[in-house]
A and B are shown apart, each in its own frame.
Chain A
Amino acid sequence: MNKKSSKKGINMILTIIFSVIAVIYLYPIFMIISNSLKIESAISTKSALSLPTLDSFAGFSNYIYGIQKMNFLSSFFYSLYITVSSVVLIILCCSMCAWYISRVDSLLSKILYYLCVFSMVVPFQMVMFTLAKTADTLKLNTPYNICIIYLGFGAGLAVFMFTGFMKSMPMEIEEAAMIDGCSPIQMFFRVVAPITKPTMISTAILETMWVWNDYLLPTLVLDIKKYRTIPMDIQYFRGSYGSVQMGPMMACIVITIIPVIVLYLFAQKYIIEGVIAGAVKG
């Protein structure tokens, strides 16, 4: 009995300690929101940690300014478009490719599989210059077709994850469908794809986290004067110190992270399962 109550006591203390840590953990995000509500003259290095006062409270003027003057909405659109098109393309093409690899035992399958695994280790700096040049030559340098580059560079992880899952799928279902007169195309979309759905969601989440936040690849491939994704936008404005207004800048950072956090709170279960699935396959 005594032992039980002492365990309860320890758990209580742990809850308190973790609550304090959780508050500290959230503080950076809170700080950026509080600063985005200050007027320009009240923002300085020293006062970054203090709350806006009655005099320095700016309301939402920074947000309005940021959205209008910094062309933030167009960056948001480009980021969204690039992420959605790339992830859809990666999931579709790589799951088809992975099914071929896991069902056809040929030299092509083997080479492709090992190349994909290999590509996951290669750091981006190794190919950044030549990749940007290749994209230029093939005119793949607009937000509308950069998804082909993302498919190429993101194929490694996706093919690896899909192949891992599909190899463990029982062949009997497909054999039965085959006897019933299914063509390979029908078989893929009617039989294999529905079974693979959980892996598709996990892979889509991992690839979305990568593409949405990616900075260097779009910077090198896209023309920065014409098209900017959100990470490029923030680096671009922050890089040109002095001329940039900090308030609108921080308002843009807040607009960037709020949708991600809201999405996370709704899709938390899938995101965490995606992370675990990715780790198990690795």
Chain B
Amino acid sequence: MNRSIKKYWPLFVLPTLTAFAIGFIWPFVWGIFLSFCKFTTVKKIKIVGLANYTKIFSDSSFVDALKFTSVFSIVSTILINVLAFTVALLLIRGIKGTNIFRTVFFMPNLIGGIVLGYIWQILLNGLLSKWELPLLALNEKYGFIGLLVLMSWQQIGYMMIIYIAGLQNVSSDIIEAAKIDGAGSFQTLFKVQIPMVMPSITICTFLTLTNSFKLFDQNLSLTGGEPAKKTQMLALNIYETYYSRSGAQWKGIGQAKAVVFFLLVVVISLIQLKITRSREVQA
């Protein structure tokens, strides 16, 4: 059987493989090559070795963006997961209206990042001006909080769905057994339920962490990096380096930044997976 399918590989594999080569493999390899070059158009390319990489860290906007992104990712990951887990835990009690609440909390996920950013910009600026505080674009602290509120609003519902599915998979026998052995509800939560849903926690922290770290649309539309690039995150910083700065060297530096960004995402994902996977238990 194996062999007869194998003969048909041009039909089964070739379309995807071709598109994958055009849409991912070639741009990726070429991107790595260009990070070692100075170029403005793709026709005038000069290899400069590691020069682009050494210039990245003398560009203070990149270092600032890295700091902002790291702090934001950690805070938002913790906030979103704690809130989503709490909501999930309360909603599996079977209270009245559970289905409606689930529907409402998940809904913001379907709205795109650009649109979400503008809705929240109008709303938050309305609130801030009512309280006579500086607007989003003028104060980096409110920009940070605004992004945090926006991301929580968008992502809590998604993570809640995953946690509900995980919690419902914990068989009631185990919880019953724990209760008979004299565990209180807090002990049941921390010693039984949380260890049992560790796979859900792994995937949710992975998703929130990478989503926050790679955030672009919401950042662009909510604050646009204002004031003075203080709320600019890494993805937006790379985009600006590429497309908004004049000067022959910037495209190469932008590409080098993108490579560093990519490596950071890989390292963070691997560390995060390793930490949470090691805590997963078998029932």
Contacts and interface: CB of A to CB of B under 8 A. Distances in A.
Interface of A: 11-12, 14-15, 18-19, 21-22, 25-29, 31-32, 35, 45-49, 93-94, 96-97, 99-101, 103-106, 108, 112, 115-116, 119, 121-131, 133-135, 138, 140, 148-153, 155-156, 159, 171, 174-175, 178, 183-185, 188, 209, 212-216, 230-231, 234-235, 238, 250, 253, 256-257, 260-261, 264-265, 268, 271-272, 275-276, 279-280, 282
Contact of B112 (A104, A112, A231): A231
Interface string B177-200: 000000000000000000000001
Interface in B81-136: 90-91, 93-97, 100-115, 118-120, 122-123, 125-127, 129-130, 135
B262 interface: yes
15 contacts: A12-B96, A15-B95, A27-B123, A47-B126, A48-B126, A100-B9, A104-B6, A116-B20, A123-B261, A129-B242, A131-B27, A216-B239, A253-B118, A271-B110, A279-B204
Interface in B133-160: 135, 153, 158
B262 A122 contact: yes
Contacts of B207: 279, 282
Given A48-B126, A155-B19, A238-B118, A123 B235 contact: yes
A74 to B, nearest CB: 18
B23 A268 contact: no
B265 interface: yes
B97 A215 contact: no
B155 to A, nearest CB: 12
B24 A45 contact: no
Given A104-B2, A126-B258, A155-B19, 10 more contacts: A25-B105, A46-B130, A48-B123, A100-B12, A103-B1, A106-B6, A125-B239, A159-B16, A231-B115, A279-B165
Given A29-B119, A49-B130, A175-B1, A133 B42 contact: yes
Contact of B2 (A15, A93, A103, A124): A103
B23 A31 contact: no
Given A108-B9, A151-B23, A213-B111, A268 B122 contact: no
Would you call the interface of chain A mostly helix, strand, loop, or mixed? Answer: helix
Interface stretch (B50-58, B71-79, B213-221, B275-283): B213-221
Of B1, B26, B104, B221, most A-chain CB atoms within 10 Å: B1
Contacts of B206: 282
Contacts of B126: 31, 45-49
Given A129-B242, A155-B19, A257 B111 contact: yes
A48 B239 CA distance: 31
Interface of B: 1-2, 4-9, 11-13, 15-17, 19-28, 30-31, 34, 42, 90-91, 93-97, 100-115, 118-120, 122-123, 125-127, 129-130, 135, 153, 158, 161-162, 165, 200, 203-204, 206-207, 210, 214, 216-217, 220-221, 235, 238-239, 242, 251, 254-255, 258-259, 261-262, 265-266, 269
B8 A26 contact: no
A94 B18 CA distance: 12
B255 A129 contact: yes
Nearest to B30: A130
A155 B104 contact: no
Contacts of B112: 212-215, 230-231, 256
Contacts of B96: 11-12, 15
A147 B255 CA distance: 25
Contacts, number: 271
B153 to A, nearest CB: 7
B17 A97 contact: yes
A275 B118 contact: no
B34 A129 contact: yes
Contacts of B269: 121
B212 to A, nearest CB: 12
Contact of B120 (A26, A28, A215, A231): A28
Contact of B28 (A122, A185, A275): A122
Contacts of A184: 4-5, 7-8, 12
Nearest to B206: A282
B158 A185 contact: no
B123 A115 contact: no
A152 B20 contact: yes
A215 B259 CA distance: 21
A152 B23 contact: yes
Contacts of B113: 213, 215, 231
B114 A235 contact: yes
B115 A126 contact: no
Contact of A153 (B4, B24, B114, B125): B24
Nearest to A276: B165
Contact of B251 (A112, A129, A138, A275): A129
Contact of A18 (B97, B122, B220): B97
Nearest to B199: A280
B98 to A, nearest CB: 9
